[in-house]
Amino acid sequence: MARGDTVDPRVTRTRQVVLAAVLEELAEVGNAQFTIESVAARCGVGKSTIYRHWDGKLALIVDALHELNAQPAPEPGGSPRERVRDLLHHLGHALTEGSLAPAIPALIEAAEREPEVRRLLDDYSTGRRRALEDALAQGIALGQIDATVDPELAAQALSGAIFYARLMTSTPMTGTAIDQLLAAVLGPPPR
């Protein structure tokens, strides 16, 4: 888009409606029955409108994941440990209450059966986990997190525990439980 061009608000609205329908459709029918046609029917737009903006099912899913589950921006003046906490709370919310939450099982099941979906989820998760790793590494560099902590391993342990609680137990991890997890993995915050 050229400088000064504005986006038609109807296009923005249609885009949001379509992306919300993507996650709803995945949650309801799973990836095997998920089609462009089913998304179009769910959100009441023409199939041609969807194809004008996305080149297929995977492009729709990727866009929905990125647009509807954006990680929070760092708080001005916040510490790296607070950034880690914010990212983990966002993850806990996304897996339990956000629009992504009901679609997670369908995406995981699809990743088991379809290599393209597995790559999509791997790329998506890697990018998001990188924000967590970067915050951990910054905390280590500033002496706010113990230098013996491996940022990659800690990011996997922290996010993995939240995913495990959501998918394998009846008690998802949110709120205080996430703060307790953070203290268990990283130790208490420095004084």
> In this structure, are residues 132 and 178 in contact, taking their beta carbons and an 8 Å threshold?
no
Quick one: average pLDDT of 173-185? 94
Say how many CA atoms lie within 13 Å of 151 toward its Cβ: 18
The correct answer on CATH 1.10.10.60 for the domain covering 9-66 is yes
Domain boundaries, the chain: 9-66, 69-186
What is the per-residue pLDDT for 1?
45
d(CA 7, CA 44): 21
Query: Three-state SS across the chain?
Result: CCCCCCCCHHHHHHHHHHHHHHHHHHHHHHHHHCCHHHHHHHHCCCHHHHHHHCCCHHHHHHHHHHHHCCCCCCCCCCCHHHHHHHHHHHHHHHHHCCCCHHHHHHHHHHHHHCHHHHHHHHHHHHHHHHHHHHHHHHHHHCCCCCCCCCHHHHHHHHHHHHHHHHHHCCCCCCHHHHHHHHHHHHCCCCC
Q: Is the pLDDT of residue 7 over 70?
A: no
pLDDT digits (tens, 9 = 90+) for 37-80: 999 999 999 999 999 999 999 999 999 999 999 999 999 999 99
pTM of the prediction? 0.88
CB under 8 Å to 93, separation ≥6 — which residues? 174
CATH number of 69-186: 1.10.357.10
Percentage of the chain beyond pLDDT 70 is 96
> CA–CA distance from 55 to each of 12, 13, 28, 65, 120 (Å)?
18, 19, 22, 16, 15
If one counts every other C-beta atom within 10 angstroms of the C-beta of residue 154, the result is 22
